[in-house]
Amino acid sequence: MRFQQIDQFAAELKADTRASVYQSTKTTHEKRTKLLFDQFTDPNRLREIAGEIKQHAIENLDTYLPRVEEKLKANGAQVHWAATAQSACETVLRIMRARGATKMVKAKTMVSEEIELAHFLEKNGCEAVETDLGEFIIQIDHDHPSHIVRPIIHKNRREIATSFEREGLGAYNDDPETITRRARHFLRHKYLAADVGLTGANFVSAESGRIVLVTNEGNSRFCLAATKCHIALVGIEKIVPRDRDLGILLNLLGRSGTAQDLTVYTEFIGGPKSAAQPDGPEEMHVIFVDNGRTDVLATECRDILRCIRCGACLNVCPVYRQASGHAYRSVYPGPVGAVLSPLLAAEKFPALADLPKASSLCGACNEVCPVNIPIPDLLLRLRNKAKEEGVPSPGTPPMGAWALLASQPTAWKASLVGGKLMNHLPTKMIPVPALQAWADKRELPRWRGGEFRKWMKARAKKPPSP
Amino acid sequence: MLNTERKPVTGKRVQLMATCLCDAFYDDVAAATVEVLEHLGVEVAFPEAQTCCGQPAFNGGDWAASRKVVRHTVKTFAGEEPVVVPSGSCAAMMFHGAVLEFEKEKDVGEVEALGRRTWELADFIVNGLGVKAWPGRYDATVAFHRSCHSRGTKSGEASLTLLNAIAGVRVVEFGEGEQCCGFGGTFSVSFPNISTAMGALKLDHVRAVKPDVFVSGDMSCMMHLGGLAAKEGKPIKTLHLAQVLRDALKGGPR
């Protein structure tokens, strides 16, 4: 392959998919920026503070995880630890089997995508219905999310209407309200039939053991209102030290992710239903998932674990806008995914080592990140890791000879002059792949190597002007 | 986080880091930089042994190769004077990138020290020397591209301060100005489709405001965008900020 996989994918992406991804990300990004800068005097300072809180939390998980376990247990929840995806899936299945349950309704959670829970449950004879509208559409299409907040950003409403018709959810109708109403009608029955409701967690407070969930559709509330057993699947990096830390994090999450002051629903879950409450789950399980996170914590890329999954870096990223999410071949796309996915891949790192290359290092991701993750630095670290591990990198010019030249001034000056030959050769005749890739799309300026040095010397000889 | 902390400027002598792009293609930009600095009464030394800041290999992931070049650069720019560079990208390499790739090296201190005295040209003029006015005249509508590697630094703002100070210059804003042009160093040749799609979008926005000249503090972005526009058969006039400042002193556009 001459070029990088993600570049090939982008080149072959349908024009209308690119247009809808571009329009949607651009609009959200611009609204996000306006909202933050209209409402706060110094939003960048807020991002820094939020980053410090999360960094502190991930660097002190050994303190906070036992503390949160203790709080959750005191609140009446059962706590489970899953080191791997397999173990997380098996824990869910074990909880369901112990209740004789076969039907689950689930809210949107990226960690369930990461461990491929729905698949696992289906294989084991359980139904796991996605209740977030976007995820529901992904599920009926046997597709994959292409954005961490808007899983169906790559689909248009005509495609969705066709899927609904195919699934027997009514005659073709691409009116968004109709689509939503039909999904709601279908899902109401699923909520009522289910025994188990599964959610993720946006944050878990170590101080109170409260689990915080944000949604816009209210589906997570239905998952918990109708079922008798709540399972929360939580990545270990979701801990925040104190309840009051949620103030700043929630303020930034809604604005950064969907350009809302707050999402429509913000739930604080303190435990299973109490004796005084008429409804709600009688049983609550919290499964903390590691699945490679402690290994990430041991690397110099640990800052990526601050991520609160808002998607702002995807929205602003010019590469994501051109390539869309599936180009990244992993659950987490975009700038955050280009760091997190290869790291979580562990020994399969080489297969995703091209992801960190898919960036012009423009730094826009860092500029919008609500927890101020230095994403470009982390991309660079992973590029260096790939180089050190000898992973091939199509299209990247080799740097050894260049470095030799650039550390020997005499050779450098000679090649500045020698380069002038390029002006007399048709570019096509020069067998340097990088030059060909450049000249295929762009004119090359005339080579004027050494001219400035000549000018400088000539000037030094002249008497100073009066 | 960028290490943007700078040693205050004392004295009026600087070392010029001309950049490899100016050394190979854009000699007039380097010459304009010299003339602009001399106009401000600054004595400009040009260390002859200079080559490149080391960024291509740093961005390409080959940090060992990059460090070799950075060590050469540190040696070449020995001394205490400020180092001025007509590129936000090479400046950021010196005060941020190089420091990152040297974090475990014994000589990281020397690299950091060079970073603290390396200035992007506009930042040096406005924030180093405290110059905010510019004499002369330049009658033109100017679109200014703030290059990405000056994010988080004072360079973009400083460039606009200078442009707006020139009589006759009318700076026009264009859509999605915060977006990258798509150059990205080795990215431009290993991701040519995405790189040029990003460039085309930038050109659309710039052309929409019909500038006489498209100006930046980084010739790498201009090489990409100018080259793309020329290949499309719709060339666009690109200049470095230093050229505009120099030409203003000489009475206007050349």
The CA distance from A97 to A77, in Å, is 18
What per-residue confidence (pLDDT) applies to A3? 83
The CA distance from B62 to B40, in Å, is 39
In the chain, the amino acid numbered A230 is: H
Angle among Cα A417, A418, A421 to the nearest 5 degrees reads 115
Encode pLDDT of A186-231 as tens digits: 999 999 999 999 999 999 999 999 999 999 999 999 999 989 999 9
The CA distance from B203 to B180, in Å, is 11
Strand order in the sheet with B43-45: B43-45, B13-16, B83-85, B118-120
The CA distance from A384 to A342, in Å, is 13
- CA A267 to chain B, closest CA, distance in angstroms equals 33
Q: Does A192 touch chain B (CB under 8 A)?
A: no
Average pLDDT, chain A: 95
- CA B147 to chain A, closest CA, distance in angstroms equals 8
Cβ–Cβ contacts within 10 Å for residue A248, how many? Answer: 16
Residue B2 pLDDT exceeds 70: no
The CA distance from B119 to B130, in Å, is 13
Residue A466 pLDDT exceeds 70: no
What per-residue confidence (pLDDT) applies to A463? 64
Chain A contact set for B76 (CB, 8 A):
409
For residue B216, the cross-strand partners are: B145, B240
Burial A334-370 (b: 16+ CB within 10 A, else e): bbbbbbbbbbbbeeebeebbbbbbbbbbbbbbbbbbb
Q: Does A405 touch chain B (CB under 8 A)?
A: yes
The CA distance from B27 to A394, in Å, is 32
Q: From residue A400, give the alpha-carbon distance in Å to each of A130, A182, B69.
A: 51, 60, 11
Nearest residue in chain B measured CA to CA from A385: B61
What per-residue confidence (pLDDT) applies to A138? 97
Q: Where would I find the H helices in A168-317?
A: 176-193, 219-226, 245-258, 293-297, 312-316
Q: Does B186 touch chain A (CB under 8 A)?
A: yes
Nearest to B23 among A441, A442, A452 (CB): A452
Q: Does B185 touch chain A (CB under 8 A)?
A: yes
The CA distance from A395 to B78, in Å, is 35
In the chain, the amino acid numbered A461 is: K
Average the pLDDT over A275-293 and give the result.
94
What per-residue confidence (pLDDT) applies to A278? 85
Q: Do A394 and B190 touch (CB under 8 A)?
A: yes
DSSP structural state of residue B1: -
Tell me the domain boundaries of chain B: 13-127, 132-249
What per-residue confidence (pLDDT) applies to A421? 83
In the chain, the amino acid numbered A337 is: G
Question: Is the domain A5-11+295-388 a CATH 3.30.70.1560 member?
Answer: no
Nearest to A362 among B51, B180, B201 (CB): B180
pLDDT confidence bin for B11, thresholds 50/70/90: confident
pLDDT confidence bin for A428, thresholds 50/70/90: confident
Chain B contact set for A360 (CB, 8 A):
148, 180, 182-185, 187, 195, 198
What per-residue confidence (pLDDT) applies to A103? 97
For residue A234, the cross-strand partners are: A288
Encode pLDDT of A242-273 as tens digits: 999 999 999 999 999 999 999 999 999 999 99
What per-residue confidence (pLDDT) applies to A435? 86
For residue A265, the cross-strand partners are: A215
What per-residue confidence (pLDDT) applies to A309? 97
Encode pLDDT of A33-83 as tens digits: 999 999 999 999 999 999 999 999 999 999 999 999 999 999 999 999 999
What per-residue confidence (pLDDT) applies to B4? 72
Q: Do B196 and A442 touch (CB under 8 A)?
A: yes
Nearest to B59 among A380, A447, A456 (CB): A380
Angle among Cα B64, A388, A434 to the nearest 5 degrees reads 75
**Residue A84 neighbours by CB under 8 Å, 6+ apart:** A290, A291
Residue A231 half-sphere exposure, CB side, CA atoms within 13 Å? 32
Q: Does B27 touch chain A (CB under 8 A)?
A: yes
Q: Does A39 touch chain B (CB under 8 A)?
A: no
Residue with tokens 């091209």: A354
What HEC string does A368-395 produce?
Answer: HCCCCCCHHHHHHHHHHHHHHCCCCCCC
- CA A35 to chain B, closest CA, distance in angstroms equals 17
What per-residue confidence (pLDDT) applies to A397? 84
Encode pLDDT of B112-147 as tens digits: 999 999 999 999 999 999 999 999 999 999 999 999
Best mutation target among B37, B151, B193, B205 (most A Cβ atoms within 10 Å) is B193
- Tell the CATH topology of B132-249: Rossmann fold (3.40.50)
Q: Does A168 touch chain B (CB under 8 A)?
A: no
Encode pLDDT of A105-157 as tens digits: 999 999 999 999 999 999 999 999 999 999 999 999 999 999 999 999 999 99
Q: How far is CA A178 from the centre of its chain?
A: 30
ipTM of the complex: 0.96
What per-residue confidence (pLDDT) applies to A427? 77
Residue A62 half-sphere exposure, CB side, CA atoms within 13 Å? 4
pLDDT confidence bin for B22, thresholds 50/70/90: very high
Find out whether A121 and A128 touch, Cβ atoms under 8 Å: yes
DSSP structural state of residue B239: E
User: What values do phi and psi take at A402, rounded to 5?
Assistant: -60, -45
Residue B38 pLDDT exceeds 70: yes
- Token digits of residue B186: 């080795």
Residue A1 pLDDT exceeds 60: no
Q: Reduced to 3 states, what is the DSSP secondary structure of residue A151?
A: coil
For residue B65, the cross-strand partners are: none
Tell me the domain boundaries of chain A: 5-11+295-388, 40-291, 412-461
- CA B170 to chain A, closest CA, distance in angstroms equals 26
pLDDT confidence bin for A464, thresholds 50/70/90: low
Q: Where would I find the H helices in A327-374?
A: 334-344, 349-352, 364-368
Instruction: Specify the DSSP element, H or E, that contains B40.
Output: none
Region of poorest pLDDT, from A359-373, A408-422, B168-182: A408-422
Q: Does B52 touch chain A (CB under 8 A)?
A: yes
DSSP structural state of residue A2: -
DSSP structural state of residue B179: S
Q: Do A357 and B149 touch (CB under 8 A)?
A: no
Q: Do B57 and A402 touch (CB under 8 A)?
A: yes
The CA distance from A255 to A260, in Å, is 5
Q: Does B102 touch chain A (CB under 8 A)?
A: no
Q: What burial class does residue A4 get, using C-beta atoms within 10 Å of its C-beta: 0-12 exposed, 13-18 middle, 19+ buried?
A: buried
**Do the first three CATH levels of A5-11+295-388 and A40-291 match, i.e. the same topology?**
no
What per-residue confidence (pLDDT) applies to B5? 76
Q: Reduced to 3 states, what is the DSSP secondary structure of residue A272?
A: coil
Residue A465 pLDDT exceeds 70: no
- Beta-strand relationship, A229-235 and A283-289: parallel
Q: Do A402 and B65 touch (CB under 8 A)?
A: yes
- Beta-strand relationship, A211-215 and A265-269: antiparallel
Which one of 1.10.760.10, 3.90.1150.10, 3.30.470.20, 3.40.50.10420 gives the CATH number of domain A40-291? 3.40.50.10420
Nearest residue in chain A measured CA to CA from B75: A407
Encode pLDDT of B161-180 as tens digits: 999 999 999 999 999 999 99
Q: Do B227 and A444 touch (CB under 8 A)?
A: yes
Q: How many residues does chain A have?
A: 466
